[in-house]
Structure 1
Amino acid sequence: MTQHSAPSAAAPPAAVPSTMRRYVLAGRRRVELRSDAPVPVPGPGEVLVRVAACTVCNRSDLAYFHYHGLRDHCATGCFGHEVAGTVAAVGPGVTRTRPGRRVFLRTPLTSGFAEYATAREVAVGALPDTVPFTQGAILQLLPLAVHATRGVRLGDRVAIVGQGPVGLMALQAARMRGAAEITVADLDPWRLERSALLGADRRVVADGTAASLAAMGGGFDVAIEAVGTPLTANACVDLLRQNGLVVFLGTHHVDTHVTFDMVAWEKKGLRVHTAAEPTDQDRAAAMRVAERLAAAPDRLHLDALLTHAHPLEELPDALDRLSRSPTLVPEGTATPYTTPPEATLKIAVCPGAP
């Protein structure tokens, strides 16, 4: 699963071809591999990256795959947005990177399920030589977790509902921000074992009910919702102390509308923020922190999140495995799955050998 990294000096840029292999989302639950897709040309302030690895987003990519054609937002997001690779070319005005540099992307402009992808310069982060590309693609989650945990203060008690990849990244970010106690919950005991390795103080096995999440306790300073369902969003309200902070980190692509008891919010005087960076200034600030943390392997552990790596052609297999999850159907809808796929977190697909 380990991929050799490039030497410290930027490698000489290779010639950029005119066409490439690229997966396209051709319909609901249907992807097609094109062998003659045009290689995108970076415009002003943009960077072209030769993709070495792209991890599958366990939430957005799967929602786009399953609901394409049914929900408008599933046709507008970038399918395949967790990318690591080498800069192949830069557009006019780019100053922070150059061809040959190893990078990871926060949010690309074109799909990373391809041999090349473009991104705005603000979305490009430096990837240390010590981080394999397959793990580097997971770093897309790091600036998100950095921004999501900006309200965590030294000594806080933090609850994190959901221990998929983004919840585990938030766990690491909250610990580095000085949280004194972190309690986590998930449907999958195997994922909670990873939580213990990454610094969780207390773990709760949930069963998809509000009662099981209530077992996390109460009086938390910060509750981070890292799943994206109405049940988990409302559970965070109950977990908090007066004037506590709710953080919406989970993506509500499936259940896009959530109903809250606003009297409960008012009585507690709760605060709320989301994880998304609303401005380029916020994006740049989060990326700078993420770059520093990525260069500190003793503080950030990506190996615990990567469980599989496949060649690009096996993207359909990765999508099939990750789709065996109960959170991909609207709340209250029957599903044969009670937990996420066994022993699975991040799956990387690689245009070259993984």
Structure 2
Amino acid sequence: MRRYELVDRRDIRLVTDAPVPVPGPLEVLVRVRACTVCNRSDLAYYHYYGLRDHCAQGCYGHEIAGVVEAVGPGVTRVAPGRRVFVRTPLTTGYAEFALAREISVGALPDAVPFEQGAILQLLPLAVHATRGVRLGDRVAVLGQGPVGLMALRMAALRGASHITAVDLDDWRLQRSARFGADATRRVDGSTEQLLGTGAEFDVAIDAVGTPTTFNAGVGLVRQNGLVVMLGTHHVDTRVTVDLVAWERKGLRVHSSAEPLDAARAQALQTAERLARTKELFLPELLTHTYALEELPRAMEQLSASRALYPDAGPAPYDGPPRETLKVAIVP
């Protein structure tokens, strides 16, 4: 089969005779019909392979939709021929086939195209990240990339009374209202602009994953407010915080990760139910589609991003890639 492999920093190579994986116990083999590029993890692995240890440990190409080709012993939830999306695979989705654990596979409705279905990998993250949003909460979502927009949508569905979308880019902020934002705030990335008047919100969701956005969340929430770590700190892996400020406010914090299989399964089941509705606006998240052989071109397009550079350092870009959200790769 054809498969792309990340072999070095900014070096991906197409292998045309890779072996098709064989599913083991409780594993599923998926014929990949689309794999969307993760705007943070995949790009960080691509740019920091060899410079950050974790960039050689994650799965490069993990947002998959396709059809079950075969199942291993003990699999009962899915069967060959079933349309699925994958939360986290065992092998890359930039290939004709990918392997996944049964617990990471969700049912994909017939009405959802594969290119859009691959984006559903973000949904369990957004479900888990917004678990602390309560009816009537005032919520700020910092970052209006794909995962930020998905979190914004989930906060709206959970009953937030007012949601403010924050981003560097006007084009992305224009889409925030469709996803449920009541107000938008365009910023230049400085802490002062991010804070606004301060202490306005019950919940601040950092969907960017930089020291600036994470610490801005502390200033944005009220006493005993909640700060959510949804964006991944792949570039600035060590973040300094003011513990006195945290103590004085008595803040709560949680991440979007599902550390246990039970939490992962629950979030995936919620995502399956939501995928059957028309509440997610997946067509508006998908902006580009490329053939598998064009993956290098897609990586370059998405690489025009300020988020790929250390927060305190210089960068050739002042925001996200122009008019780009999700990019799908189709074998």
- Using structure 2 for the length normalisation, give the TM-score: 0.99
Q: Which position in structure 2 is the counterpart of 1:306?
A: 286
Unaligned 5+ residue runs, structure 2? none
CA deviations on 1:83-126 (whole Å, 9 max, x unpaired) are: 00000000000000000000000000000000000100110000
Q: Which position in structure 2 is the counterpart of 1:122?
A: 103
Aligned match for 1:240, one of 221, 232, 246: 221
- Is 1:334 matched with 2:314? yes
- Is 1:343 matched with 2:304? no
| 1:55-74 superposed matches below 5 A | 55-74=36-55
Q: Which position in structure 1 is the counterpart of 2:152?
A: 171
> Paired residues, what number?
331
| 1:284-303 superposed matches below 5 A | 284-297=265-278, 299-303=279-283
Q: CA shift at 1:218, angstroms?
A: 2.8
The answer to whether the Cα contact below 8 Å between 2:198 and 2:219 also exists between their aligned partners in 1 is no
CA deviations on 1:193-216 (whole Å, 9 max, x unpaired) are: 111111100101110101211227
- For 2:327 and 2:39, how far apart are their aligned partners in 1? 9
The answer to whether the Cα contact below 8 Å between 1:183 and 1:216 also exists between their aligned partners in 2 is no
| 1:1-354 superposed matches below 5 A | 20-215=1-196, 217-297=198-278, 299-351=279-331
Q: CA RMSD in A?
A: 0.8
CA deviations on 1:175-196 (whole Å, 9 max, x unpaired) are: 1101110001011110001111
The answer to whether the Cα contact below 8 Å between 1:184 and 1:216 also exists between their aligned partners in 2 is no
Q: CA shift at 1:33, angstroms?
A: 0.3
The answer to whether the Cα contact below 8 Å between 1:185 and 1:216 also exists between their aligned partners in 2 is no
Q: Secondary structure at the match of 1:100?
A: coil
Read off the aligned partner of 2:110 and give its amino acid letter. D
Unaligned 5+ residue runs, structure 1? 1-19
Q: Secondary structure at the match of 2:259?
A: coil
Q: Secondary structure at the match of 1:159?
A: strand
Q: CA shift at 1:153, angstroms?
A: 0.5
Read off the aligned partner of 2:270 and give its amino acid letter. V
- In structure 2, relative to structure 1, the CA distance for the partners of 1:235 and 1:88 (3 Å cut) is same
- For 1:283 and 1:246, how far apart are their aligned partners in 2? 21
Read off the aligned partner of 1:45 and give its amino acid letter. L
Read off the aligned partner of 2:78 and give its amino acid letter. T
